[in-house]
Structure 1
Amino acid sequence: MTDTETATAPAVPTDRTAAPKPSSIKMTARDVNVFYGQTHAIKDVSIDVDLENVTAFIGPSGCGKSTFLRTLNRMNDTIAIAKVTGDITLDGEDVYAPEMDVVQLRARVGMVFQKPNPFPKSIFENVAYGPRIHGLAASKQALEQIVEQSLKRAGLWEEVKDRLSDSGTALSGGQQQRLCIARAIAVDPEVILMDEPCSALDPIATAKIEELIHALRGKYAIVIVTHNMQQAARVSQKTAFFHLGNLVEYGETSEIFTNPHEERTKDYITGRYG
């Protein structure tokens, strides 16, 4: 996601919260910039992602929140003109170090996309694919246990346990999204990135995904990009507000929504733009 508008000088993001306990921080970003050719899409963003809190990225379309999310597991590597500067670490390891295995990184930092994208395979094979290629199961029985556990954690097992051989693409949209979450969980990630995971879903399916996010909190560090401010308020404990590629404000969700310090945050929260 890029932004071609001319931004004013970036404000220093306001973080009014105590830093999470060091042991709970999974990822850190410091002074991260993203360029698409000559377009400066992300400007000096610094943030922590921790295990104890769901972090929501909010902001108007084109503000850079999805672009920044994609830097966390190097998805921007797939774009030839993209350039990332700054430091991003996962448990202290430099995500962009030459020796970093990007395939392993994306197993450790999983991604759930805006539109459900199950493989054209059976429900079982959708979940089993990752553990199989990463060698996480020593036997067929172990693989079956991983699939069952992942589907249970994704809140889908009871709905599909008797039709695991059916195609994943035959499921409803909400079920497909939970299948994609199960697929991400199956490789035992440390972080789960969600890029507007409910934007294509109806309210009932959305509620199930939100319940799932609550259930997964603490097991995985979770970051969600959302345009829905009510959703951000419901599912997250930390919120980061992006505008024109800048991280304007970052702190406790309750504070961001009830007592924002930055005027741009207040204007967005109250619907004056966005």
Structure 2
Amino acid sequence: MTDTDLAQTARENADAVDTTAPIKMTARDVHVYYGATHAIKGVSIDIDMDHVTAFIGPSGCGKSTFLRTMNRMNDTIAAARVEGQITLDGEDIYAPSMDVVQLRARVGMVFQKPNPFPKSIYENVAYGPRIHGLAASKADMDQIVERSLKRAGLWEEVKDRLTDSGTAMSGGQQQRLCIARAIAVDPEVILMDEPCSALDPIATAKIEELIHELRGNYAIVIVTHNMQQAARVSQRTAFFHLGNLVEYGVTSDIFTNPREERTKDYITGRYG
């Protein structure tokens, strides 16, 4: 895809932007350290409810690190330290009173490599709702599993083999199963860390179509190295470089008329 094609794709997606969309998450002056390494440097950003936000930038620029701060996944790394403030509906997610288990139910994560549990398809989806007590009966759980698999565009493919292992599915199906697992607990935000990087083009297209269908039901943030993908699926784009948030705005503006020279250089392939 040429620069002109990339800009055209971004423009075609621009009509989906609502400048009055409600803010779901905010970050203010966020710094992340891994020991002595300063990985994220003073990032401030608003994530709204009605749009897909893409984080782009070269490898090692901090986009995945920052994504992990949004549901406290960095808590699992002993050397990690986060400074600044991140809020969900105005509530500081790093406050001592925040229940991290509940936070991760509200802010779900889909990882780069599909990671279904070594359980049946049904049990993969039912796992979260069971832990959080979201189903009062087997019939309720059946309904949650069916609804989640339908939202993930997977129901018709698996409805007759729900007892089969989730790990026996194709890579694309496994990733959609992981998305179904994430949405089964009714999250408010879905974080996707390069969800298509391990998939073939056909499976990638299905995931991108799914992202379009889910938009508006959840605040969605996707990390991607693929600028064409960012142009196709997102309405807002944030460009990271060396731990800094260089530029953030409407996707069509970022790809057609970036304000920062570093953004322009990256988009036109001069580095990265």
User: For the superposition of Structure 1 and Structure 2, which TM-score range results when normalised by the shorter chain?
Assistant: over 0.9
Residue in 2 that maps onto 1:4: none
Q: Quick one: distance in 2 between partners of 1:20 and 1:246?
A: 24
Equivalent position of 1:116 in the other structure: 114
Matched position secondary structure for 2:113: coil
Q: What SS does the aligned partner of 2:238 have?
A: strand
Is the 8 Å Cα contact of residues 20 and 50 (structure 1) preserved in structure 2?
no
Is 1:77 aligned to 2:75, yes or no?
yes
Structure 1 equivalent of residue 213 of structure 2 = 215
Q: In structure 1, the residue corresponding to 2:265 is in which secondary structure?
A: helix
Deviation at residue 152 of structure 1 after TM alignment:
0.2
Q: Distance in 1 between matches of 2:19 and 2:24?
A: 10
CA contact (8 A) 2:18 2:50 kept: no
User: 5+ residue gaps in structure 2?
Assistant: 1-16
1:182 matched to 2:180: yes
Q: In the alignment, is the contact (CA less than 8 A) between 2:196 and 2:207 conserved in 1?
A: yes
**Which residue does the alignment assign to 2:6?**
none
Q: Distance in 1 between matches of 2:133 and 2:91?
A: 23
Instruction: Check whether the contact 2:24–2:49 (CA below 8 A) recurs between aligned residues.
Output: yes
Q: Report the secondary structure of 1:117's partner residue.
A: coil
Secondary structure of the corresponding residue to residue 87 of structure 1: strand
Matched, 1:106 2:121: no
Give the CA deviation at 1:73: 0.1
TM-align CA RMSD: 1.1
Tell me how far apart the structure 1 counterparts of residues 51 and 105 of structure 2 sit (CA, whole Å): 21
Which one has the bigger helix percentage? 2
Deviation above 2 Å: which 4+ runs of structure 1?
18-21
For the Cα contact (< 8 Å) 1:34–1:42, is it kept in 2?
yes
**Counterparts of 1:238-249 in structure 2 under 5 Å?**
238-249=236-247
* Distance apart, 1:137 and its partner CA: 0.4
1:118-142 CA-partner distances (Å, limit 9, x unpaired)? 0000000000000001000011000
Name the aligned partner's letter for residue 115 of structure 2: N
Specify which of 155, 162, 165 is matched with residue 164 of structure 1.
162
Whole-angstrom CA distance in 1 between matches of 2:107 and 2:216: 15
Q: What residue is the counterpart of 1:260 in the other structure?
A: 258
Structure 2 residue identity aligned to 1:61: S
Aligned residue in 1 for 2:33:
35
Residue aligning to 2:66: 68
Identity of aligned residues (%): 86
Aligned partner of 2:132 in structure 1 is 134
**Structure 1 unmatched ranges of 5 or more:** 1-17
Equivalent-residue separation in structure 2 for 1:263 and 1:93 (angstroms):
35
- Pairwise CA distance, 1:51: 1.1
The alignment's TM-score, normalised by the length of structure 2, stands at 0.93
Deviations 1:11-52 (A, max 9, x none): xxxxxxx9953x721100000000011110000100111111
Residues 220-253 of structure 1 show CA distances to partners (whole Å, capped at 9, x for unaligned) of 0000000000000000000000000000000000
Cα distance between partner residues in 2 of 1:231 and 1:219: 20
> Is 1:195 aligned with 2:204?
no
Counterpart in the other structure of 2:7: none
Q: What SS is found at the alignment partner of 1:268?
A: helix
Amino acid of the structure 1 residue aligned with 2:121: I
Matched, 1:144 2:142: yes
Secondary structure of the 1:138 match is coil
Q: TM-score, normalised by structure 1?
A: 0.92
Alignment partner, residue 49 of structure 1? 47
Query: C-alpha offsets along residues 119-175 of structure 1, whole Å, 9 cap, x if unaligned?
Result: 000000000000001000011000000000000000000000000000000000000
Secondary structure of the equivalent of 1:147? helix
For residues 242 and 39 of structure 2, what CA distance do their matches in structure 1 show? 8
Amino acid at match of 1:156: L
Are the counterparts in 2 of residues 191 and 220 from structure 1 also a CA contact under 8 Å? yes
Local SS of the residue matching 1:125:
helix
